[in-house]
Amino acid sequence: MQARRAARELALILFSQFDRVITKYSTKDFNDILLKSVRILTNNASNDLKLVIRPLIEMRDYITDYEANDKSNLERPIGVKDKPVPIPLTSDMIEKIDELLDISEKALSALEIAEFTTLENKSDVLSYTTKISELYKENHEIVDKQIKDHAIGWDFDRLVRIDKDILRIAIVELLYLKDNETNHKVIVDEAVELAKKYSTEESSSFINGILAKVIFENGIK
């Protein structure tokens, strides 16, 4: 996982912890909430991995029973080890496997972010996350106006909180942090991926559309 990708995801979790007007937070508050956010990530990862265990046990038991009850093994002498048998790839098993993969990927992602933020040589993750927060604090009215102006037909106050936070992070990067290292396409792609991961497919399309308008209006290249 790239450092800036980890920073964006950590910033999103940080933004979700704000429970009052952004201007009332200090840099120390940001740092304290960041540490809390890392703990939330690691705890969620731990819980997700625990959730994986039960379906794995169920799948193992299913396969064991399927093997034992196969005609070829039922006819074998008692005490003789069962021989492997072909297993039909049912839609039910595919669904279970997909669920396990999804949970595992999210857990691994969370652990990667936690690792990035705790390794000394990866302090740029915390620095970039804090920079996003500080710049949003300084320019929150401009950033939110960008969302309001381009979310035509939508009531800003009724927008899903996580979608607004993803947009806020991306707009801060586009307007105040874009450099030669990260072009606007990467910023938009990362915002869309965050939406797919934490929100919905509809949200990812909505966010992509808003950011396209922000880029056009501000002449970002």
Rounded distance, CA 99 to CA 31, Å? 34
* Global pTM exceeds 0.75: no
The pLDDT confidence band at residue 210, using thresholds 50, 70 and 90, is very high
pLDDT at 171 over 50: yes
Domain region containing 168: 3-217
pLDDT tens, position by position, 48-93: 667 667 777 777 787 888 888 888 888 888 888 888 887 766 666 6
CATH of the domain at 181: 1.10.940.10
| Most confident of the ranges 65-69, 143-147, 174-178, 183-187 | 143-147
* Structural domains of the chain, count: 1
Give residues with Cβ within 8 angstroms of 216, minimum separation 6. none
- With beta carbons less than 8 A apart as the criterion, state whether 41 and 114 touch: yes
pLDDT tens, position by position, 129-143: 889 999 999 999 999
pLDDT at 156 over 90: no
Rounded distance, CA 82 to CA 74, Å? 9
Nearest to 187 by CA among 206, 212, 164: 212
The pLDDT confidence band at residue 120, using thresholds 50, 70 and 90, is very low
Q: CA 177 from chain center: how many Å?
A: 21
Q: What is the pLDDT of residue 121?
A: 43
